[in-house]
Amino acid sequence: MSISIIGSSIQRLRQKFSQSTGLPIREALPEGEIEIELQAAGVKYRRCLFDPIVTTWAFLCQVLDSDRSCRKAISRVFAYLSDAQDVSDPMELIDSQSDTGAYCKARQRLSVDVLKRLYRRVATHLEADATPERRWLGRRVFLVDGTTVLMPDTEDNQAAYPQHPNQKAGCGFPLAKLVALFSLTTGALTEAITDIWSAYEPALLRKISSGFKALDVLVGDRIYCTYADIALLKHQQVDSVFRLHGARKVDFRKGQRVGKNDRVYTWEKPKRRPKTLSQQLFEQLSETLSVRVLRFAITQKGFRSKTITVVTTLLDPIAYPKDEIARVYGLRWEAEINLRHLKTSMEMDFLRTKTPEMIHKELAMYFLAYNLIRSVMSQAALRYGKDPLRLSFKGALQHLNTFLPLLATSGPKKRRQHYQMLLLLIARELLPDRPGRVEPRMVKRRPKCSRWLQEPRAVLKQKLAA
């Protein structure tokens, strides 16, 4: 391609991608914002078809699509390019950059820091647009939870994220631990971190807790209920609501009585430094910590737990009644649901890239796509007076995938019409209110009778050939 044709192609491609994926998130991710983040990260690039902006849009569409192959991403790029300009000679348009190698190299050149900034930017826009009435007692609440993801069995991935030791070499997949923070108000993913599968989740949380603001509230499961983590959050003026760790016992006959099964205790700093805590952080911990411990009963049949004991630094029983504490802890399950959206609805449970560097970029792109869908749901809820957290995430993903090609290839008037229809369809995907719903943890479909791979394939091939 000549320089003039390349410049025209890049401009038209950017226009098509911004129309298809930029519109649903308003001004959160236009071309100019990506340019700002590229400059802030010191990224310099030459003028080519797969520059960082086009590659980012193509990678994003690739994650959103059910067919995540690089060939499909290339096909979309040239389909948009063909629709954007008159092509008298297709060979002039499809040159050496039409194979997947050029696109894959362009993905490798993407900055993971830029991708992280982009999904954080979308989450920040969503949080800023949320009305104060949607917050819990006027405060921002974040949910924390951890999970694991699999990835291709390559030497690089195995070195960075070893497989579980219970599996034989060559029979398992590299396994990574993922700890993520979600906004209770918007459902957006605000921050995440990965490490090896055996990493201690509270230690990972400490690495991403710097983004909290004063008066934020963090809700998590019992694994995060440690003296160190509660004290460090309190030092940031961040309150916490955690389920009581099983190793710590409480006696409701002691402490300062606030109400029935509601007491305030003074915990003392551990004499020994935890292995996952640095000496510097251990010295910063206060010698004592005032916490409020509440116990409430689960009367709904079908739940495994009959009583829940929660620890919080929200000590005022008038400003933060026991029922409200119980309600906000019950919403912790939203983090589990959000992770299910990522791993099941968006099929992030098994990643596809073959190096740790690309694994980080792929995860960041999944998070960006997830926040994009949350943004569309928020706009649909705002327009039609719905609760965005009551809308179906899977339904929004399906409708968005259907309308993306139409948004990219339509004129301005028709595009607005398509977008209004998209928001209406998403707003109609309202999940029924089913409080106290329980389901047995069983599946009806039986697994296939294929035998498990218990030896490396190379060994089995040799046995078959013998």
Q: How many helices (H) and strands (E) does the chain have?
A: 17, 9
Judged against a pLDDT cut of 60, whether residue 37 lies above it is answered with yes
Q: What is the model's pLDDT at position 75?
A: 83
Judged against a pLDDT cut of 50, whether residue 281 lies above it is answered with yes
Could you tell me the pLDDT band of residue 356, with boundaries at 50, 70 and 90?
A: very high
**Mean pLDDT over the full length of the chain:** 86
358 HSE (CA, 13 A, CB side): 17
By mean pLDDT, which of 33-47, 66-80, 102-116 is the weakest?
33-47
Q: Report long-range pairs for 279-283 (Cβ below 8 Å, ≥24 apart).
A: 281/206, 281/228, 281/232, 282/228
* For the chain, domain boundaries: 3-112, 222-327
Bridge-based pairing of strands 175-183 and 141-150 is antiparallel
What span, in angstroms and rounded, lies between the C-alpha atoms of 68 and 365?
A: 12
The torsion of the CA quartet 92, 58, 354, 106, rounded to 10 degrees, works out to 50
Does residue 188 contact residue 212 with C-beta atoms inside 8 Å?
Answer: no
Q: What is the model's pLDDT at position 370?
A: 95
By mean pLDDT, which of 38-42, 167-171, 273-277 is the weakest?
38-42
Judged against a pLDDT cut of 60, whether residue 22 lies above it is answered with no
Tell me which DSSP letter residue 150 carries: E
CA-atom Rg of the chain in angstroms = 25
- Exposed/middle/buried for 67, CB within 10 Å: 0-12, 13-18, 19+? exposed
Q: What is the model's pLDDT at position 90?
A: 53
Q: What are phi and psi of 108, to 5 degrees?
A: -65, -30
By mean pLDDT, which of 63-72, 372-381, 419-428, 440-449 is the weakest?
440-449
Cα separations in angstroms, 167 against 120, 173, 176, 457: 36, 9, 15, 14
Does residue 114 contact residue 37 with C-beta atoms inside 8 Å?
Answer: yes
What pTM value is reported for the model? 0.89
Q: Report, as an integer, the average pLDDT of 187-207.
A: 96
Q: Where are the alpha helices (DSSP H) in 236-354?
A: 279-284, 322-330, 333-340
